[in-house]
Structure 1
């Protein structure tokens, strides 16, 4: 079928993106699903800081590629051998998938699946297939096995989680990345518990989900830190007990004084070197720094090795919230339905294809939290 999609042909174009237009809105060909594949009509796709990283070229991708790695939609067709899904089902689309047999999958570390990671790094679906093409027949690649910046997507069943159809799909779209990454970093990676002190560096969609999850987990002090103080009001409403500007030259001293020695867990969500250093410095002896944000490929960070050893601190990576989608997404959706995880508060609005590049600029400047692209209007 022919459909409209947002295609990126070049990384590293200059800002403002409304002028350089990293995503071209054009028609592409999408082949029908084959064995083990699912066709989804995309009804919502979130704009994420990871998309900004790809546009900026911090992590290279096979080009041209249809963007988008989180979304929600309606199953329209299934290939042979697909079970558990049928046309009409509402689904969350997530970039986490598993092969079921590699060492990582055997240890239930699905986000580290070796075969899926390899296929997706080359722009293919996790089964090694390519279902996108330009109108003249040239290959167009899949982004993280999802490519939700399009009217339709072919993906694999393990990337789709069936949901209650009463949940608005523009809200459900955020559960595929922002929610599992932010909430999962708290619940799965750090295992925050009652009475813990935490700090969150970066109060975008992922960071605010970490804030909400920490409140659910019973953290007694939740400190939000960002360069944009305009986010602090919403952050306090969602669970922050204190907020600090990342530009405050006395940030580390203030947090350590407030917490009488530092936080138990510091979540660094931006992938920024300066923020990572501050996160380490505000963590108490025996505490953990949880690195959530992805920076540039190959970027190196320094740490004081003697202090790491003598103070028994931990630096931990958390990719996609260490999630198991079939377990975690239904849980987080239930928390949303119960009013405990008000993810809908993070929506900064919905946009069309025509507004996509302009809204990348807004996201870069911190003027929005989570914009939701509506590919089908």
Structure 2
């Protein structure tokens, strides 16, 4: 199945410039694509900013295989260009967040306040298709191009389900909104919703990338008394301390578990977080807990990754090991709340952005991310 069979493309359809992945391990290809106009229950969005996030890099490298060709990008903000029949939550001209985990609002997970687990978002994430089993992109050769997570924010114009957008109220800078849409909500939510960190707690964060830095600032916002940042790149210390870290450990120079125990009087931390997506740091984060502590995994791993833990610690030390997807948050409710927190001065956004790139620089942007040169960076359109 190509994912485009049965869908009619016409010469009238808009064209967009997109970054297309044709083969894992190869650079993204910048090319013009046709974008189908929104059908019933769909929205066409002109992107203004898109996040350069490690999750897309997993797909580019083949760690998380996806059908190709596919337009990546899942974090961003843009303006509604057009809407299909039946769309009621947004109109042309509205600013919106794309949601990379769409939710139906009706299933058991949605009713429990856990929309990130909804099967609608899961299906689009792993098939690269819209809910009707087709795509809305086609390249110059006439081949169907798949969607990533239902939103494909690395296209200057993208058609997506109405369920995949949240309206941005007021005159809020869209580059800031783009930062909130994935890295911020995932990191903050891991602290406030998944772990439910308490004021005065001790916290360790393994990985100081976009998610890890927001876990750090989430711990700061909740008034944790000790926030220990761990990374293999020493230059990340500046970013970590800016977000609220009280200590920094370069794990290439010492055993981070021992260092954390030393900083906590031999006890370990109340809460630990893994924001990289590697088995080793997951094991270290779990081992760095005190009795009764909670470890939250927020980093996306390879599809075949396995971590080994001391199972007896779950029993005798009553430790907890859990995951957090999208910060275990409710995007339609919590994205606007995070925007409000920034406007009150509680949530730092300006300090997160290291630099911006044009779409034709996207491969350079990902090389910079891999080298650990940025806290967070964005692809921006004029």
Counterpart mapping for 1:151-300 below 5 A: 151-260=156-265, 261-300=267-306
Q: Distance in 1 between matches of 2:143 and 2:289?
A: 51
Check whether the contact 2:203–2:224 (CA below 8 A) recurs between aligned residues. Answer: yes
Q: Distance in 1 between matches of 2:82 and 2:106?
A: 27
Shift of 1:136: 2.8
Shift of 1:10: 0.4
Q: Distance in 1 between matches of 2:276 and 2:164?
A: 25
1:371 and 2:373 aligned: no
Is 96-105 or 59-68 further displaced after alignment? 96-105
Shift of 1:344: 2.0
Q: Which residue of 1 aligns with 2:18?
A: 5
Q: Distance in 2 between matches of 1:343 and 1:129?
A: 36
Counterpart mapping for 1:1-377 below 5 A: 1-13=14-26, 22-260=27-265, 261-374=267-380, 376-377=381-382
Can you give the 5+ residue segments of structure 1 that lack an aligned partner in the other structure? 14-21
Is 160-169 or 44-53 further displaced after alignment? 160-169
Shift of 1:127: 4.8
Q: Distance in 2 between matches of 1:298 and 1:103?
A: 28
SS of structure 1 residue aligned to 2:260 = helix
Q: Give the number of equivalent residue pairs.
A: 368
Shift of 1:162: 1.4
Shift of 1:249: 2.3
Is 126-135 or 294-303 further displaced after alignment? 126-135
Cα RMSD after superposing both structures: 1.3
Check whether the contact 2:102–2:120 (CA below 8 A) recurs between aligned residues. Answer: no
Q: Distance in 2 between matches of 1:7 and 1:357?
A: 11
SS of structure 2 residue aligned to 1:118 = helix
Check whether the contact 1:211–1:238 (CA below 8 A) recurs between aligned residues. Answer: yes
Q: Distance in 1 between matches of 2:89 and 2:270?
A: 41
Q: Distance in 2 between matches of 1:42 and 1:361?
A: 22
Q: Distance in 2 between matches of 1:172 and 1:40?
A: 15
Shift of 1:42: 0.1
Check whether the contact 1:41–1:73 (CA below 8 A) recurs between aligned residues. Answer: yes
Q: Distance in 2 between matches of 1:149 and 1:330?
A: 23
SS of structure 2 residue aligned to 1:343 = coil
Is 298-307 or 2-11 further displaced after alignment? 298-307
TM superposition score normalised by structure 2: 0.93
Q: Distance in 2 between matches of 1:44 and 1:191?
A: 31
Q: Deviations over 1:88-114 (max 9, x none)?
A: 111111202111233322322111111
Check whether the contact 1:120–1:126 (CA below 8 A) recurs between aligned residues. Answer: no
Q: Distance in 2 between matches of 1:210 and 1:128?
A: 36
Check whether the contact 2:20–2:69 (CA below 8 A) recurs between aligned residues. Answer: yes
Check whether the contact 1:38–1:75 (CA below 8 A) recurs between aligned residues. Answer: yes
Can you give the 5+ residue segments of structure 2 that lack an aligned partner in the other structure? 1-13
SS of structure 1 residue aligned to 2:248 = strand
Check whether the contact 2:44–2:158 (CA below 8 A) recurs between aligned residues. Answer: yes
Q: Which has the higher contact order (CA 8 A, sep 6+)?
A: 1
